[in-house]
Amino acid sequence: IFEPTEKMSTYLLAFVISEFTNLRSPSEANIRIWGRREAIESGQGDYALSVTFPILKYLENYYNTTYPLSKSDQVALPDFAAGAMENWGLVTYREQSLFYDPKVSSNEDKEWVVTVITHELAHMWFGNLVTMRWWNDLWLNEGFASYVSYLGADYAEPTWNIKDLMVLQQVQRAFGVDALVSSHPLSSREDEVITPDQIDQLFDTITYSKGAAVLRMLSEFLTDLRYYDVFTRLVVDADSSIQLPASINEIMNRWILQMGFPVVTINTRTGIISQQHFLIHPDAVVDKPSDYNYEWFVPITWMKSGSNMGQHWLLTKTASYEPMKTDTDWLLANLNVTGYYRVNYDPQNWERLLTQLTNLNMIIHRAQIINITLALRTTKYLYEEKEYIPWESAIRNFEYFFLMFDRTEVYGPLQTYLQRKVKPLFDHFKVITSNWTRKPPRYMDQYNQINAVSMACKTGVKGCSELTRMWYRQWMKNPDSNPIPTNLKITVYCNAIAAGGVEEWDFGWQMFKNSTIAAEAEKLLYGLSCTKEPWLLNRYLEFTIEPNLVRKQDVAFAIVYISGNVIGQPLVWDFVRANWEHLTKDYDDGSFFFGRLIRGITRKFSTEFDLQQLQRFKEDIAASSFSFGTQAIEQAIEQTKANIKWVSENKVQVMNWLIEQSA
């Protein structure tokens, strides 16, 4: 018996026909978690059920509106292309986005479940109860849900400090794509988004991550008001308690209707502040006109020598602001990176900031610093650092160095430098875990333990490879009892398989096939990509296009994982080009799959030869009838050009600096 369907957008209607069973709360009878009987009966849905009700109550308060439906069903599907889909009252998920098993799953798995659930439930109001007029404003739907996912998850798990991860997971991710001339505004004209392919291409980093970052900035300069209050002000656009330099509409249009973001340069010797459209390739030609001339109304939060100085607005390309003129005081702007912009300073202020780095526990991202030597110098203190956020930031920044240099003579000095920095952290966690026999007591330390072991093994710290191989061999001897700590599984699988041969790989493959827990299978999917045997990587690639071996939802991930292996990258590039027609026929659901695939497999491209091959690939696709992922290819070409320029300008400088530091 079906109740009458609510008035809704057609894309939100769903049916699930299955033999699934469900889990429901006795006190909240209309909340149900559905899935395979084995998964439900083994308790994999318990965590989702426990957080759904508090998240719904939080969102009711946040929106100042009661939950609009009489029930909430959430269904885990074994093979599902998207991470999740917000069908109204019948949300569908990949299994690893809804199911959690504390005996097997990691902290990261649990965090993923609670944030995805919040993201989807946020849509029940914003996107479902009220839907955008057309797809050109998709960013409001997905960007808002991405932003609110951190707020709701933080409410459900208040000890995790999930909101602190937004800068790393959303803002920095958006910066990387929005610094390309092939980026696009958050919103465009309706007549620019007509075809299904044009709609598909909007489901990208700009829509999700930049959307979340810009809404976070709006929330900050409106003093962290709830959505209901913000919405009211967007309508009435007046509030005497908040001093704004222009209407919210005038301020936000510059962030919504033009692509990109500014780098704000503050000269503390003169007090001059300026802004410029930040481009990863400074010589790139921006051929997309903007009504706002690529200038923004920029809210600048700042402090001087530890004293918070409030907020100042930069409304023109260049302005003078006397309070920012300093003598010996250091100045830091864009506190907690709440603004969607980067900051640069005069050399003297950079020097003053670097001397304060340890005291302030600052996070200065490589991409925020134009001078490469300054960027590297921010990492010199890491041997003293024990906290997660600074280490996670440093590792993400160094990831670009590994991508650019793992095939060059810079790789050795880079490993040596980082080995010296991470060894004290590795030794620290060995002590506080009683020789790896228990979890670190603090939640963020549990995350940082992953960084310590992963980077120690990557750089050859003595004892790390032996540790991972020992755990993996114990598991091989007794497959029914996995001794590997849940948070370290992905690191152990990768390093043990990399150090082993066919026996270790085949065991991992068998465990992957036998796994009944999606999060565990995903870790093994990654670990299998780490082997150093080319023939095993080629065999693995062939497995990915056999649907009875690797689920279609996992194919792009597996191929991208293999491309991250320095040995696997050229194999993947040949494989994808040779099998492009086959892939496009099997994955004709479009740009989302191919965008992920193309961006992933071209991350290491940094030579003229790479660029020539990529341009030829673009021409071949254009000449065929399988033209998926065109936007992703354009972005990959632009990123490759930027990589070539960056390597040519910095390779020798980086190598000399690393050798000097390791002398």
Please list the active-site residues.
120
For residue 634, give the nearest of 621, 647, 649, 648 by alpha carbon: 621
Residue 642 three-state SS? helix
Tell me how far apart the alpha carbons of residues 259 and 291 are, in angstroms, rounded to a whole number: 11
- Residue in the structure block whose two tokens are 């991409």: 367
Q: What six digits make up the tokens of 95?
A: 């299994």
Contact 299, 307 (CB under 8 A): no
Tell me how far apart the alpha carbons of residues 339 and 218 are, in angstroms, rounded to a whole number: 9
Q: Is 119 annotated as a binding residue?
A: yes
- Residue in the structure block whose two tokens are 């792009």: 556
For the chain, how many helices (H) and strands (E)? 28, 12
Burial of 376 (0-12, 13-18, 19+ CB in 10 A): buried
Neighbours of 128 (CB within 10 A): 23
3-state helix, strand, coil in the chain (%, to 5): 55, 10, 35
Q: What six digits make up the tokens of 426?
A: 């590795």
Tell me how far apart the alpha carbons of residues 357 and 361 are, in angstroms, rounded to a whole number: 6
List the beta bridge partners of residue 93: 76, 84
Show Cβ contacts of residue 578 under 8 Å, excluding neighbours closer than 6 positions: none
> Where does 14-86 show beta strands of DSSP type E?
21-24, 31-35, 72-77, 84-85
Neighbours of 513 (CB within 10 A): 11
Q: Is 365 annotated as a binding residue?
A: no
Tell me how far apart the alpha carbons of residues 335 and 301 are, in angstroms, rounded to a whole number: 6
Neighbours of 126 (CB within 10 A): 22
Estimate to the nearest angstrom the gap between the alpha carbon of 452 and the chain centroid.
20
- Return binding residues: 119, 123, 142
- Return binding residues for Zn(2+): 119, 123, 142
